[in-house]
Structure 1
């Protein structure tokens, strides 16, 4: 090999190494899986999307590992809801450069759609166990309901924000990112229309959910939740709250009570025992869904099917 060829080879190798290093680095990291569903639709064919929380983990009680901190620091873009929801990320994200982070609840188009948390709805859902009540309130996500991925419209606005950030960070991929956003918005609109039609007959059928995570979805599709067992799924509801729910179940105001894959407390079965109420499961994180360009639509549809299967009695 001549000196000139050696020089060219070395230069080419360095360029390839730099290119592969950028490819390895060009990763969008989302805090939770449903945000990964939205982001992966925008990044499809452009870059990799990863989720920080492993399946089965809850943002309510997660603690970052050193490997998680490294993934956040190495990411091209970090997408999260905000410190009220993922408090375990606050310190690490606050030390990152502003262009590398996207806090969804800080965005003006998202802020305008936030709904109040149930602590403000006048429902004494904590009962009178003051120790539990104080801890529960401490863990509630501030003034607003932070389960924003349950809203199809907030998801659309989040997708636009992710798209805009990525166009800034990798302008060479603008055409593909534009096409991905357009496809996401079209798919979301048709899925939303279909679900609206399917869930319409369920309006007025009362039910209880395990924890206060579904407000945006219920409001959007006009579902009739009678309440929830707990605000923070890590903390068991108090005796007074259970008595209130049991009374309503006995009076047949509710058709269903819904548990969750991560939380199947015996307390739900005990309260429902001896009543005609059915038991269902709602998965607020889409645990079994694989991230991809259609995954957010699959997530919305799966929730619709889970509501239907219990409320219809199928």
Structure 2
């Protein structure tokens, strides 16, 4: 009897997973999911594949993820240099049910290369921050976000032709709101454009170039390992030479590691979240995401807000 009950629970759990996965648009990473939700709102359910805190470079799919992908109406992902696990999984999925964003011609013309110029610095440990020839963090470009939204719209119109009017309205609303958000962000950041900073993940190029920010370079160190004396010295030397105001860590970085690097300097520590962790998946989530990133920058770069 106990064995029968166990088998029944397993079957019910499996059915539950399949039911939750039905009629869904799946986005690989959270910020792409924000754009998707804006366009699909009121049309169909959307879901995000990667849980909060997971890296798209190293994520291992769970059985429930495979069920979601198999049952999805559409899967939206960035590209193989961002989500290395996706090409193998999508081999058996109809290409009409996929959007690979890095493959869109309009986006290709706006891509930034990952090559570093002479006045930018990437040094120390090579972790998992190299994403091929092009910068794949395309969701941080408002211009590319509008192309992503249009591409999702066009695909959903084919999938749900009877919802074309609502999809049109959603796209227009997204573009209008995003344009207003861009203007708002530009005003907020204008006073910190000359305040230089370093990051520990070179992910923000699209956003920085769009809003004229002064990223001095990137230090790639292992966030879980205390840096050695030589590494600390080299980083502190660069912070001083370039008169950096801030260094920005990401949520997965140990505060203790970063404090050691800036110890004895006037450099502030800030935190940036390029994946929108904690932002609720709703129609206006993408604008909330960009505004949250803006505030994270201001919290460290703006002299008037440092002690607030």
Answer whether TM exceeds 0.5 for this pair: yes
Q: What CA distance in whole angstroms lies between the structure 1 residues aligned with 2:32 and 2:113?
A: 21
Q: What CA distance in whole angstroms lies between the structure 2 residues aligned with 1:112 and 1:212?
A: 20
Q: What CA distance in whole angstroms lies between the structure 2 residues aligned with 1:295 and 1:238?
A: 40
Q: What CA distance in whole angstroms lies between the structure 2 residues aligned with 1:42 and 1:252?
A: 43
Look up the match of 1:162.
152
Residues 121-155 of structure 1 show CA distances to partners (whole Å, capped at 9, x for unaligned) of 3555234xxxx54x65xx61110000111100111
Look up the match of 1:43.
40
Which of 279, 288, 291 aligns to 2:281? It is 291
Look up the match of 1:6.
none
Look up the match of 2:52.
55
**Number of residue pairs matched by the alignment:** 286
Which of 105, 117, 123 aligns to 1:121? It is 117
Q: What CA distance in whole angstroms lies between the structure 2 residues aligned with 1:233 and 1:96?
A: 36
Q: What CA distance in whole angstroms lies between the structure 2 residues aligned with 1:46 and 1:227?
A: 42
Q: What CA distance in whole angstroms lies between the structure 2 residues aligned with 1:83 and 1:231?
A: 23
Residues 47-99 of structure 1 show CA distances to partners (whole Å, capped at 9, x for unaligned) of 11100000111112111111111111111000000111000112112221011
| Conserved? CA contact 1:229–1:242, under 8 Å | no
Deviation at 1:240, TM superposition (A): 6.0
- Confirm or deny that 1:86 pairs with 2:83: yes
| Conserved? CA contact 2:78–2:136, under 8 Å | yes
Matches within 5 A, 1:82-161: 82-118=79-115, 120-122=116-118, 123=120, 125-127=122-124, 132-133=125-126, 140-161=130-151
- Name the larger-Rg structure: 1
Look up the match of 1:176.
166
Look up the match of 1:13.
none
Look up the match of 1:185.
175
Moved over 2 A (4+): 21-25, 120-124, 231-245, 248-252, 262-267
TM-score (normalised: structure 1): 0.85
Deviation at 1:104, TM superposition (A): 0.3
| Conserved? CA contact 1:163–1:177, under 8 Å | yes
- What are the ranges of 5 or more consecutive residues in structure 2 without an aligned counterpart? 1-17
| Conserved? CA contact 2:26–2:76, under 8 Å | yes
Between 242-251 and 36-45, the greater mean CA deviation after superposition: 242-251
Residues 173-192 of structure 1 show CA distances to partners (whole Å, capped at 9, x for unaligned) of 10100100000000000000
Deviation at 1:247, TM superposition (A): 0.7
TM-score (normalised: structure 2): 0.86
- Which SS does the other structure have where 1:257 is aligned? strand
C-alpha change, 1:99 and 1:234, in structure 2 (3 Å) is farther
Look up the match of 1:77.
74
- Which SS does the other structure have where 2:111 is aligned? coil
- What are the ranges of 5 or more consecutive residues in structure 1 without an aligned counterpart? 1-20
Q: What CA distance in whole angstroms lies between the structure 2 residues aligned with 1:302 and 1:27?
A: 27
C-alpha change, 1:193 and 1:238, in structure 2 (3 Å) is farther
Q: What CA distance in whole angstroms lies between the structure 2 residues aligned with 1:230 and 1:209?
A: 8
C-alpha change, 1:238 and 1:93, in structure 2 (3 Å) is farther
Residues 189-231 of structure 1 show CA distances to partners (whole Å, capped at 9, x for unaligned) of 0000111111111111001112111111101000001111228
| Conserved? CA contact 1:126–1:238, under 8 Å | no
- Confirm or deny that 1:225 pairs with 2:215: yes
- Which SS does the other structure have where 2:200 is aligned? strand
C-alpha change, 1:237 and 1:285, in structure 2 (3 Å) is farther
Cα RMSD (Å) of the superposition?
2.3
Q: What CA distance in whole angstroms lies between the structure 1 residues aligned with 2:29 and 2:295?
A: 22
